[in-house]
Amino acid sequence: MGARSIVAILFLFLAFRSGVDAASKRIRDRHPCKRLVFFFHDILYEGNNAKNATSAIVGSPDWANRTILAGQSHFGDLVVFDDPITLDNNLHSKPVGRAQGFYIYDKKDVFTAWLGFSFVFNSTQHKGSLNFAGADPLMNKTRDISVIGGTGDFFMARGVATLMTDLFEGDVYFRLRVDIKLYECW
């Protein structure tokens, strides 16, 4: 091996090391590189609000139906949504984007869901999308889900979103506060 390739390998090693050091320092510091708070509003179809509804039960267990959430903590219901995102907690504020995806109720003895959705932005402030996934033990005051990626303004974003149920009205309407902390920003 020539001196040149040894120097090249050494250089690569040092570059790799400084990358690892930078990453572990980021984890140690634990300061988000970006923080955003949004609300989104879910109005579930309940038999006579098809015009107003922003979400619908598209799958239910054999012992239930798709008009009304199933018994036993809604276990087995799959709901698809296209919900407005607002900057404050007012349903009628001008939306800055849409929250689009699904939740599945996945536990019989307590209300718990699994969420997979995107925030799709097309406003003057934000363009692009953020993708979320994770378990939502929704009886907890706050719960964390993962921000697993993004596009546009949020290219390669990763972090954690803290969800809080800001309001719920029966099974028809709920509003979530989403506190997004990105730990990777490009």
Binding site for ligand NAG (CB under 6 A): 43, 52, 65, 67-68, 122, 137, 140, 143, 172-173
Please report how close the Cβ of residue 113 comes to ligand NAG at its closest, in angstroms.
12
Single-letter amino acid, residue 118 = S
Neighbours of 174 (CB within 10 A): 19
**Do residues 150 and 161 make contact, with C-beta atoms less than 8 angstroms apart?**
no
Tell me whether residue 5 or residue 124 sits nearer to ligand NAG (CB atom): 124
Please report how close the Cβ of residue 186 comes to ligand NAG at its closest, in angstroms.
21
Tell me whether residue 72 or residue 140 sits nearer to ligand NAG (CB atom): 140
Tell me whether residue 10 or residue 139 sits nearer to ligand NAG (CB atom): 139
Please report how close the Cβ of residue 2 comes to ligand NAG at its closest, in angstroms.
53
Tell me whether residue 18 or residue 123 sits nearer to ligand NAG (CB atom): 123
Please report how close the Cβ of residue 42 comes to ligand NAG at its closest, in angstroms.
9
Q: Which residues contact residue 162 at a Cβ distance below 8 angstroms, ignoring those fewer than 6 apart?
A: 142, 143, 144, 178, 179, 181
Neighbours of 122 (CB within 10 A): 13
**Do residues 136 and 113 make contact, with C-beta atoms less than 8 angstroms apart?**
yes
- In the block, tokens 């984007």 appear at 97
